[in-house]
Amino acid sequence: MPRFLSSRPDSRLIPLPWGTPLAEWPTEHLVALPRGLSRHVVRFIRVGESVYAAKEIVEPVALHEYRLLQDLTRLGTPAVEPLAVVTQRHRADGRELESVLITRHLQFSLPYRSLFSVGVRQDTVSRLVDAMVVLLARLHLIGFMWRDVSLSNILFRRDAGEFAAYLVDAETGEMHADLTTGQREHDLSIAVTNLFGDFSDLQAGGMLDPSLDPLQLVETIETRYRELWSELTGVEEFPERELDRIEGRVRRLNALGFDVAELDISTAGKTIRIQPKVVDAGHHSRRLMRLTGLDTEENQARRLLNDLDTYRARNNLQGTDEAVAAHQWLATSFEPVVNAIPKDLMGKRDPAQIYHEVLDYRWYQSQRERREVPLTEAVHGYIDDVLTSLPDEELSADSVTLIQPDDAQALVNPYDPSQGYVDDEETPYDPWEDDAGENATEPAVLDLDTLRRLRGPKN
């Protein structure tokens, strides 16, 4: 009988065919959602309305990743949420199967393959790059060394006009109290190499905008990471008369979406030296959450907060307590827009994203018609002109079409893009595979005879 380790068990998972290798699961349990490449067998499994990602992997690694993802979730880092590890799996004939790590599918998430398969504009790629850089820096701030940054290991979510990046794969990750410069540099160099490979692959598959160059892209990532890191943690020294630079630094960090929890300020003679010691991401989303209870991405929060400020100005509420004004805004602006969206279109975008897009829509319409278009009018225009024609981004079984756009090659296995694309070539003979046969097993004992046998003539 398989064993389930879970902090939030979902009993519907228990009757699933755990005695069958994931690769052989009946398709009735599976959903072919777009996703990145993986070394292991990964499948999206569906139970009732919920969709989970399941990865087959050796037990110690599964447990390690489960615990790391729990830590990351607890620390509020953008990462997929772990649900369970299934161990002690056996086939009907008693043969052992690897463990399975189960994570919750991230709603409204977009793996890069689905973003790129439809052709991506240059500025979109630039935003994706920014999102990745922010994710890497946030992970490094909490002492997480990823050791396997790649496009396949990241999910993107729309975040107003930007993207928010989420960590999907923590298999090789490690949590430290602090990262040394060497560890960060190492992580960055893995990221740069992997991403260069990812972009080159997209290029080879005709999925990268021809104006983009993989080398330039990874150079941008390196530069932006260093700039962000130095803004987040760097020492700044200035003369005493420029004291406003302290506030300037805090404001710059806020603008980047970070709160400064501890700023180290020291003086030596007439020189001031400042260095942020503890910075937390989520400056705007925390503020919006506090005011309205809305849980959004950082840039969505920034946009909504801006709208809230405008709302206060327009309705003469500057003197009113911010929380009271926020409550009114929620009831008279945000909720009517979201409630106006027909139920069958709610799967296209999450509510905060819809609100952001309605604001954009209203602005363009107002410019065009040289009048101030009311929100209620704009939302209907948005539904008819924009939302209806958008693809569903909440998962659904139909999303399988996203994996294979019309002009793309067919995947060998729609449930597993890692197996590559169909072609007619025959596999060449490989003598190395002959002696890699079934007799490759661990020795039961390690004594002198075994040692001699395994080491062969090099004794």
Partner 1 sequence: MATISFRDATRVYPGADRPAVDKLNLEIGDGEFMVLVGPSGCGKTTSLRMLAGLEEVNSGSIWIGDRDVTHLPPKDRDIAMVFQNYALYPHMTVADNMGFALKMQNVPKDERERRVAAAADLLGLKDFLARKPKALSGGQRQRVAMGRAIVREPQVFLMDEPLSNLDAKLRVQTRTQIASLQNKLGVTTVYVTHDQVEAMTMGNRVAVLKDGLLQQVDTPMALYDKPVNVFVAGFIGSPAMNLLTGTVTEGGVRVGDYVVPVPRDTLAKAGDETTLIIGIRPENFTIADDGISLEVSVVEETGADGYVYGTLVGDEQADGTAGQQLVARVSTRQSPQMGSVVKLAARDADAVHVFSEKTQNRL
Query: In 10 A of CB 237, how many CB atoms?
Result: 12
339 binds partner 1 (CB under 8 A): no
DSSP string, 232-273: HH--EEEEGGGTHHHHHHHHHHHHTTEEEEEEEEEEETTEEE
Would you say 371 or 455 has its CB closer to partner 1?
A: 455
117 binds partner 1 (CB under 8 A): no
180 binds partner 1 (CB under 8 A): yes
Would you say 215 or 255 has its CB closer to partner 1?
A: 215
Q: Is the dihedral of CA 131, 41, 86, 58 positive or negative?
A: negative
The strand pair at 50-57 and 162-167 is best described as unpaired
416 binds partner 1 (CB under 8 A): no
Residues in contact with partner 1, shown as a per-residue x/- string from 60 to 79 under the rule CB under 8 A = xx------------------
Helix (H, G, I), strand (E, B) or coil at 425: coil
- The region that residue 34 occupies, defined by phi over 0 for left and psi between -120 and 50 for alpha, beta otherwise, is beta
Separation of first and last alpha carbons in the chain: 44
Contact criterion met (CB below 8 Å) for 76 and 120: no
Would you say 243 or 436 has its CB closer to partner 1?
A: 436
Residues in contact with partner 1, shown as a per-residue x/- string from 93 to 112 under the rule CB under 8 A = -----x--------------
Would you say 196 or 238 has its CB closer to partner 1?
A: 196
Find the binder of partner 1 among 13, 37, 141, 403 (CB under 8 A): 37
215 binds partner 1 (CB under 8 A): yes
Find the binder of partner 1 among 45, 165, 197, 359 (CB under 8 A): 197
Would you say 28 or 442 has its CB closer to partner 1?
A: 442
Q: Which helix (H) or strand (E) holds 274?
A: strand 271-281
Find the binder of partner 1 among 124, 200, 275, 328 (CB under 8 A): 200
418 binds partner 1 (CB under 8 A): yes
Contact criterion met (CB below 8 Å) for 279 and 141: yes
Give the footprint of partner 1 on residues 241-270 (CB under 8 A): none
**Contact region with partner 1 (CB under 8 A), list: 76-84, 118-126, 130-138, 431-439:** 431-439
Taking the C-alpha atoms of residue 282 and residue 296, their distance in angstroms, rounded to an integer, is: 10
Helix (H, G, I), strand (E, B) or coil at 280: strand
Would you say 33 or 308 has its CB closer to partner 1?
A: 33
Q: Min. distance of Cβ 292 from partner 1 in angstroms?
A: 40
Helices (H), 272-395: 283-292, 298-314, 322-329, 335-339, 351-369, 375-385
The strand pair at 30-31 and 109-111 is best described as unpaired
Residues in contact with partner 1, shown as a per-residue x/- string from 150 to 179 under the rule CB under 8 A = x-x------------------xx----xx-
Strand partners, 248: none
Q: State the residues that interact with partner 1 by CB under 8 A.
A: 37-39, 57-58, 60-61, 98, 147-148, 150, 152, 171-172, 177-178, 180-183, 185-186, 189-190, 192-194, 196-198, 200-202, 204-205, 214-215, 218, 412, 417-421, 423, 425, 427-433, 436, 438, 440-449, 451, 454-455, 458-459
